[in-house]
Amino acid sequence: MRRAAIFLDRDGTLIEEKGYLRSSEEVEFLPGIFKALKKIKNRYLFFIVTHQPGIGRGELKRDEVEKVNSFIQTRLAQEGIIIKKIYMCPHRREDNCECIKPKPYFLYQAAQEFNLDLLSSYVIGDHPVDVELARRAGASGLYLLTGHGAKHLAELNHYFPIFHDLNQAIDYILQTEEALDKASTILRQGGVVAFPTETVYGLGADVFNSLAVARVFEIKARPHFDPLIVHIACMDDLLRLAQKIPDKALNLAKKFWPGPLTLVLLKKEIVPDIVTSGLPSVAIRMPRHNLALRLILKTERPIVGPSANPFGYLSPTTAHHVRDQLGSKIDFILDGGPCEVGLESTIISFLEDPPRLLRPGGIPLEDIESTIGPINSTPLVKLKPEAPGLLPRHYAPRTRAYLDWSEADFWRWKEEGKKIGLLSFRGEKTNLPFDHLEILSPEGDLRQAAAALFASLHRLDKAKLDLILIEKIPEIGLGRAIMDRLRRATFLSSDNPFPSFSESP
């Protein structure tokens, strides 16, 4: 098991910031730090990362610093707080040393030596460089206003949670871990959780739980189904969900993941139809937000995530937006602060070559083209504006389907020797002798019906029927999206019997 760690800055975080310290007599621990660290000492390995540019400037001797360090380490040990190792950078910032650039070297070194999980680790400090180190290593940076924290506050280039002191930061860690546990438990039990990503907040559900996914559509109250983006946290999940992945797609994933890029690829069977709205393709992305990645890993499955706003509203970039718009409808909101990008991910489809831009977003097209060459950026809607129902992603069965029909029609078709299937909501018309029956929800539950819809249509389409008759569904809640889908299905199959199963956006 990989362990999580806390990397503590020394001056200004653990002890008073007094400039160059040459002897242990000058050490003054900040109030409350022993008590604070004791709260989490069994959960984390502790390290100190300290910057001592006085050595590089020739104003401080290395052994003076080491004496101070070992005094601090011993004093903490007396309190039962074990510092595994102290990493010290003796260089001046202008030296551009390798301690922090290009990678936060100490963090990676500690991760290797102590088998650490950096994603679940924290760096706590009172200087922007401290928290920036965390960000670059995929860990969480917590910024303190003790020491020089207040003075350097304006230099923070990204969002980091800010605390008055170490104690407050540690309480935040405990709360965050608790929230993460709760969110992943809810997801595993089929609930819906809003979660932060670097782009916008997503409305998360277990990708393999069709009912949970149906609830996402219900909460969003979209008047139609839209294929959802599947969020993953490791490359193995990409291979588990998609097939025939072109090299160009893999190259983009390697370069921009985790990050605001979504790849549309041919799906594997394992991805439920409700996730892709019945399409043979699936949209996948690995978000860059620390909590999003941890949530997916903890839940041990990918999670779907449309933006966490009701249909037609602005995309939410803070937990507060989500609470305002959807608060009462979802099971939990995992607060990860404001979103860094604030703009949805760029979506590229690899179902054709050259690949096609489906949605501009967080990663500029130029960056993508400079990695894999030209991208077709003609918007899909402009290709056939006269026939939105023919847009490839509006899936429809190949078999002729009818929404408007009567029992008299049924018997007439039957006499003509037609093989007829029924897509029924609760099973009302099942007294008629159909050749194939699909009942969406015997209990009349719209969520259950939505979850079953695409798979039922697929089965009907594969049943070698001449006709599919469809029973109408009450147009309330999810019923609207279901009926929208069914209208498209019948429109396409009656006016254009084109095989849209194998099509690609």
Structure tokens at 192: 């819906």
Least distance from ligand TXA to the Cβ atom of residue 102, Å: 27
User: Under a CB-based contact definition with an 8 Å cutoff, are residues 446 and 482 in contact?
Assistant: yes
Structure tokens at 233: 């946290």
Q: Is 505 in the site for ligand TXA (CB under 6 A)?
A: yes
User: Under a CB-based contact definition with an 8 Å cutoff, are residues 88 and 52 in contact?
Assistant: yes
Of residues 198-217, those binding ligand TXA (CB under 6 A): 199-200, 202
Q: Is 54 in the site for Mg ion (CB under 5 A)?
A: no
Hey, is 333 helix, strand or coil? strand
Q: Is 120 in the site for ligand TXA (CB under 6 A)?
A: no
User: Under a CB-based contact definition with an 8 Å cutoff, are residues 216 and 306 in contact?
Assistant: yes
User: Which of the stretches 1-9, 180-188, 400-408, 432-440 binds Mg ion when contact is defined by CB under 5 A?
Assistant: 1-9
Report the candidate in 284, 277, 282 with the shortest Cα–Cα distance to residue 262.
284
Nearer to ligand TXA, 306 or 355 (CB): 306
Could you give phi then psi for residue 103, rounded to 5 degrees? -110, 155
Nearer to ligand TXA, 121 or 309 (CB): 309
User: Which of the stretches 281-289, 321-329, 412-420, 495-503 binds ligand TXA when contact is defined by CB under 6 A?
Assistant: 281-289
Q: Is 135 in the site for ligand TXA (CB under 6 A)?
A: no
Hey, is 74 helix, strand or coil? helix
Of residues 456-495, those binding ligand TXA (CB under 6 A): none
Least distance from Mg ion to the Cβ atom of residue 149, Å: 8
- DSSP 8-state assignment for residue 155: G
User: Under a CB-based contact definition with an 8 Å cutoff, are residues 195 and 201 in contact?
Assistant: yes
Structure tokens at 6: 């806390």
Distance CA 153, CA 52 (A): 20
Least distance from Mg ion to the Cβ atom of residue 130, Å: 7
Q: Is 500 in the site for ligand TXA (CB under 6 A)?
A: no
Q: What is the 3-state secondary structure (H, E, C) of 107-138?
A: HHHHHHHHCECHHHCEEEECCHHHHHHHHHCC
User: Which of the stretches 5-13, 56-64, 458-466, 477-485 binds Mg ion when contact is defined by CB under 5 A?
Assistant: 5-13
Of residues 169-198, those binding Mg ion (CB under 5 A): none
Can you tell me which of 194, 347, 357, 440 binds ligand TXA, judged by CB under 6 A? Answer: 347
Q: Is 290 in the site for ligand TXA (CB under 6 A)?
A: no
Distance CA 458, CA 421 (A): 12
Nearer to ligand TXA, 65 or 358 (CB): 358
Task: State the residue for tokens 């860059």.
Answer: 288
Q: Is 259 in the site for ligand TXA (CB under 6 A)?
A: no
Interface mask toward ligand TXA for 366-395; x: CB under 6 A: ---------------------------x--
Distance CA 58, CA 299 (A): 51
Q: Is 128 in the site for ligand TXA (CB under 6 A)?
A: no
Q: Is 126 in the site for Mg ion (CB under 5 A)?
A: yes
Task: State the residue for tokens 């549309």.
Answer: 264
Rg (CA), the chain: 28
Can you tell me which of 206, 218, 344, 438 binds ligand TXA, judged by CB under 6 A? Answer: 344
Residues that bind ligand TXA (CB under 6 A): 197, 199-200, 202, 226-229, 260, 262, 264, 276, 279, 281-283, 287, 305-307, 344-345, 347, 349, 358, 393, 505
